[in-house]
Amino acid sequence: MTTEAVLPADLGTALPTTLFRFATAGSVDDGKSTLVGRLLHDSKAILADQLDAVARTSADRGFGGDKGGIDLALLTDGLRAEREQGITIDVAYRYFATDRRSFILADCPGHVQYTKNTVTGASTADAVVVLIDARKGVLEQTRRHLSVLQLLRVAHVIVAVNKIDLVDFSESVFREIEADVQQVGRELGLGSDGISDLLVIPVSALDGDNVVERSERTPWYSGPALLEVLETLPAADELESHLESFRFPVQLVIRPQGALAPDAVAAGLDVEAYRDYRAYAGQITEGSVKVGDQVSVLTPGQDPRTTTVVGIDFAGASLEEAAAPQSVAIRLAEEFDVARGDTIAAAGTVREASADLYASLCWLSPKPLREGAKVLVKHGTRTVQALVRNVNGKLDLSTFKLEQASALELNDIGHAQLRLAAPLPLENYLHHRRTGAFLLIDPLDGNTLAAGLVKDHPGDHEDERYSI
């Protein structure tokens, strides 16, 4: 995809707004909090009392200088320690809306544990905005960020070249950085793999250039402002449901027997008809389903059982079809024994469940991973015990090469092979951002150890580009 986004035709404002999730990632002092503050401020998501509080604190600290302004970063630093130290510690979530979209913004700090924070923010994001300081260009940390985003298969990566005012709005500086970004993107397969796209925008977060409105001070840039891009990019669900087959991890069985909801009964629910009601509740993780579809029920250790969808219920409404990410309750033609942890999937689209798990692991715990460790794998709605058989190296995020390693430490990304106590319907993360994802959990204290991305088994076909 090219640098300058092509905006689809204006859809008008009559449609209800849709949700778009994005994250920000950046290095130390590249002005990320200021950019977030600017987006919130200029899209009028900041209310008067919040602005007053920030203005008071800014004045107390003598912020602003000749700009006489307020420290927009204070809008996002929520914890006492963050305001005191002037740094952002933890991922913070922010909300704003335009006529077209409601936005959920995960603001991921770049200082400490940047991998942990970037992986967390990117795991649910439709897009990630990576900041670069125009005076510094592409840094090692930029390469690391882009590498993590490629690994997590973020649909849209937007590089904001910030502080463009401090390089006198120089086109040549911007073009050079843009070329460097595209070069890194090519090395990673980012923006040319048909899954993701990569955009580069010159901005000044402090002054607002190309953040909400296009700037007159960058006449050489003909692309959209950042907010225009965020308003028009397709969300991941819109892109993915075209490609993916139906997947539905069963959360629980709804089988009220005698215990029907009194309010539903009072509203005229036919008690006799619902006496033997039985449905499987869950959220569609991928694809879509229609009444009459053939589906397979996948239960670990059993052969897939095929049946037909006879009903899709949602709180009293009967739906003809439903798609990710809808939460529904599904009724099947046959009374199989189906339980939490089973998956209902479009028939004939699932490969055999496997107890051997090959994966990339983003290690998020201060406790290192060693071969032989016993862990828990949480995949969909099932948690199983697992043994770490091998650590097959860790990734050098600046060269994108795999290095020898037999342990993974905090913020490392590496490869490992695990043996599961029960087979799981694992799918390659590259093609299945939901069913290819899992957590590693410490069985002792219950803490989350790693974000896991399923890889194909060695020997299966796998595109070389994704071999990290």
Partner 1 sequence: MTESAVSTRLSSLDTLESEAIHIIREVVAEFEKPALLFSGGKDSVVMLHLATKAFWPGKVPFPVLHVDTGHNFPEVIDFRDRTVERLGLKLVVGSVQEFIDRGELAERADGTRNPLQTVPLLDAIQQNKFDAVFGGGRRDEDKARAKERILSLRDEFGQWDPRNQRPELWNLYNGRHTVGQHVRAFPISNWTELDIWRYIERENIELPGLYYAHEREVFARDGMWRAVGEVSQPLPHEEVITKTVRYRTVGDMSCTGAVESDAYTVSDVVIEVAASTLTERGATRADDRISEAAMEDRKKDGYF
* Residues from 52 through 91 that contact partner 1 (CB under 8 A): 53, 57, 76-81, 83, 89-91
Nearest residue to 119 (alpha-carbon basis) of 93, 145, 82, 158: 145
Q: Any residues with CB less than 8 A from the CB of 301 and at least 6 apart, and which?
A: 422, 423
Position 326 contacts partner 1 (CB under 8 A): yes
Applying CB under 8 A, the site for partner 1 has a residue count of: 90
CA distance 201 to 37: 18
Q: How is residue 145 written in tokens?
A: 């960020």
Residue 309 Cβ vs partner 1, minimum distance, rounded to whole Å: 13
Cβ distance 245 to 332 under 8 Å? no
Q: Any residues with CB less than 8 A from the CB of 91 and at least 6 apart, and which?
A: 106, 107, 108, 109, 117, 120, 121
Position 327 contacts partner 1 (CB under 8 A): yes
Instruction: Pick the closer one to partner 1 by CB: 121 or 185.
Output: 121
Cβ distance 25 to 130 under 8 Å? yes
Instruction: Pick the closer one to partner 1 by CB: 32 or 379.
Output: 379
Position 290 contacts partner 1 (CB under 8 A): yes
Instruction: Pick the closer one to partner 1 by CB: 394 or 434.
Output: 434
Bridge partner list, 289: 322
Instruction: Pick the closer one to partner 1 by CB: 176 or 321.
Output: 321
Position 438 contacts partner 1 (CB under 8 A): yes
Instruction: Pick the closer one to partner 1 by CB: 277 or 336.
Output: 277
Q: How is residue 92 written in tokens?
A: 């913070």
Instruction: Pick the closer one to partner 1 by CB: 246 or 400.
Output: 246
Cβ distance 410 to 364 under 8 Å? yes
Per CB under 8 A, which of residues 215..274 are in contact with partner 1?
237-238, 241-242, 251-252, 254-256, 259-264, 266, 269, 274
**What interhelical angle do 114-123 and 140-151 show, nearest 10?**
40
Instruction: Pick the closer one to partner 1 by CB: 20 or 221.
Output: 20
Residue 266 Cβ vs partner 1, minimum distance, rounded to whole Å: 8
Q: Which of 70, 92, 388, 418 contacts partner 1 by CB under 8 A?
A: 92
Please provide residue 82's backbone torsions phi and psi, each rounded to the nearest 5 degrees.
-70, -45
Position 313 contacts partner 1 (CB under 8 A): yes
Residue 374 Cβ vs partner 1, minimum distance, rounded to whole Å: 14
Nearest residue to 108 (alpha-carbon basis) of 61, 155, 144, 139: 144
> Where does this chain touch partner 1 (CB under 8 A) — which range of 159-167, 174-182, 378-386, 391-399?
378-386
DSSP reduced 3-state for 288: strand
> Where does this chain touch partner 1 (CB under 8 A) — which range of 186-194, 301-309, 326-334, 460-468?
326-334
Per CB under 8 A, which of residues 401..430 are in contact with partner 1?
none
The rounded Cα 431 to chain-centroid distance in angstroms is 14
Q: Which of 124, 306, 318, 467 contacts partner 1 by CB under 8 A?
A: 124
Instruction: Pick the closer one to partner 1 by CB: 170 or 241.
Output: 241
Residue 408 Cβ vs partner 1, minimum distance, rounded to whole Å: 15
Per CB under 8 A, which of residues 24..53 are in contact with partner 1?
47-50, 53
Residue 265 Cβ vs partner 1, minimum distance, rounded to whole Å: 8
For residue 368, whether the previous peptide bond is cis, meaning omega lies within 30 degrees of 0, is no
Cβ distance 280 to 311 under 8 Å? no
The rounded Cα 340 to chain-centroid distance in angstroms is 24
Instruction: Pick the closer one to partner 1 by CB: 160 or 324.
Output: 324
Residues in the chain: 468
**What interhelical angle do 171-188 and 140-151 show, nearest 10?**
40
Distances (CA, A) of 417 to 269, 300, 387, 447: 51, 19, 9, 20
Per CB under 8 A, which of residues 171..200 are in contact with partner 1?
none
Instruction: Pick the closer one to partner 1 by CB: 274 or 336.
Output: 274
Q: Which of 350, 371, 439, 457 contacts partner 1 by CB under 8 A?
A: 439
Position 311 contacts partner 1 (CB under 8 A): no
CA-based torsion, 463, 464, 466, 468: positive or negative: positive
